[in-house]
Amino acid sequence: MEILQYTAEHRIFREAVRKFFEKEVIPHVDEWEEAGIVPRSIWKKMGDQGFLCPMVPEEYGGAGADFLYSVIICEELTRTNHTGLAAPLHSDVVVPYITEFGTEELKKKYLPGCCSGDTITAIAMTEPNTGSDLAAIRTTAVEDGDMVVLNGQKTFISNGINCDLLVLVARDSVIENPYEAIDLYLVEAGTPGFEKGKKIKKIGWHSQDTAELYFTDCRIPRANRLGYKGTGFIMLMQKLQQERLVCAIAAVAGAENLLDLTIKYTKERTVFGKPVSKFQANQVKIVEMATEIKLGRTFLDKLIADHIEGKNVVTEVSMAKYWTTEMARRVADECLQLHGGYGYCEEYPVARAWRDVRVMSIFAGTNEVMKTIVAKMMGL
C-alpha cells in the first residue's frame, strides 16, 4: 500500500506540470544558468497555469488545494535539474507566513499577486554574522508612531533580485529577551531605504538570484507586521517544519532523477566491450544508491502524510532534512564518478547536479543545527 494517496486529480495535475516544465523551463535552463537569473515572465506563466501557491484559499486567488499539489510541483521542478526558479520557496515557505499570520487587509492586498506570479516573494533571515542562530539577528525595527523604521543587512537571500515582496525578520533592540524581540514584517521592493545589493556569485545555483539586501532608515507601515508584536520567533518555529520538509522533498526527488539518468548512461556507455552497468563494482554502487534513495523516499512520504494530518514532526523532519540532503550529496558524487570524464563536463546534467546539491546541507538550517535540534528533543 502506498503511503501517500494520490488521486486521479493529483495524477492529472502532475502530468500537466511535467508537460509545462518540459515546454517552458527545460529548453531555457542553460540560457538562464548563463544569465545568472530566471526571467520574471516564467513566474507569470506558472501563475497563469495555477502552479503557484496552490494551497492559498480561493478567495485570495489560490486553489485551496492540499499539500500534495505542492509536493508534485516541487518534485517535477527538481527534475528540471536547475535551481533558479525557486517556486517552492515562494509558494510553500514564504507565502504561508502571509496566509496564516497576515491581517485580512494584508492577505487581500498581497496574496492574489503571489498566486498570479505578478508578485515574487523572498524571506530575509540570514545576516553576514548570523546564520542558523535566529536569536542573534541584528537588523532592527523601531516603532515610530504608525510606522516602523528598519535598519540592517541580510545576505544569501534567494529570489533577492527578483523579489517584489519580502518577509523580513527583525528585532526590537529595546527588548532584552531575543526570543521576544523578533518580529516579521512585509517590505515591498522600491520602498525608500530598501536596497538590493549585487547578486552573489556561487559555486552552484547559478540561475538563482541570491542577493544581499540593505535597509537604511527604511520606513514601512506598522500594519505590515505579521501577527502580534513579539511573536516572530514563534511563527518562524511553526513554519520551519514545512520549509525543511520541502528541502527533503527536493533532495529525494533530485537523487531519484540523477540515478535514473545515470542508470541510462551506464547502460549505453561501453568500456572494454561491455556496458558500464555490467561491471559488478558499478552494479554494487548503483544498488547501494537505489537502496538509500528508497529508504529516503519511504521516510519522506511518511513525514509528508504526517504533516498533512497536522502532526508535530519537527524532530523527524530535522532528521530527514539532514539525512536526505547528505544522501543526495553521496548520490551526486557516485553518479558523477560513474559518468567518468564526461561527468565533469558541463554538457552532461550530472555536473550541474553535483554542484547544486552541495548547498542543500547548509541552507534552511545547517545539518549540524538539525542534529542539535534532534539531540535537544532527545533530552541529550
- Determine the Cα–Cα distance for residues 324 and 293; give it in Å rounded to an integer: 8
Residue 188's H or E segment, with its range, is strand 182-188
Residue 196's H or E segment, with its range, is strand 194-199
- Determine the Cα–Cα distance for residues 316 and 110; give it in Å rounded to an integer: 33
Residue 368, burial from CB neighbour count under 10 angstroms (0-12, 13-18, 19+): exposed
Bridge-based pairing state of the strands 121-124 and 140-144: unpaired
Residue 291, burial from CB neighbour count under 10 angstroms (0-12, 13-18, 19+): exposed
- Determine the Cα–Cα distance for residues 237 and 76; give it in Å rounded to an integer: 27
Residue 314's H or E segment, with its range, is helix 314-338
Bridge-based pairing state of the strands 140-144 and 147-157: antiparallel
Which sequence positions are flagged as catalytic?
243
Secondary structure (3-state) at 169 = strand
CB hemisphere CA count around 326 (13 angstroms):
11
Alpha helices by DSSP H, listed for 6-103, are 8-24, 29-35, 40-48, 67-78, 87-88, 95-101
Residue 303 and residue 320 in contact, taking contact as beta carbons nearer than 8 Å: yes
Which value, in Å, is the radius of gyration of the alpha carbons in the chain?
Answer: 21
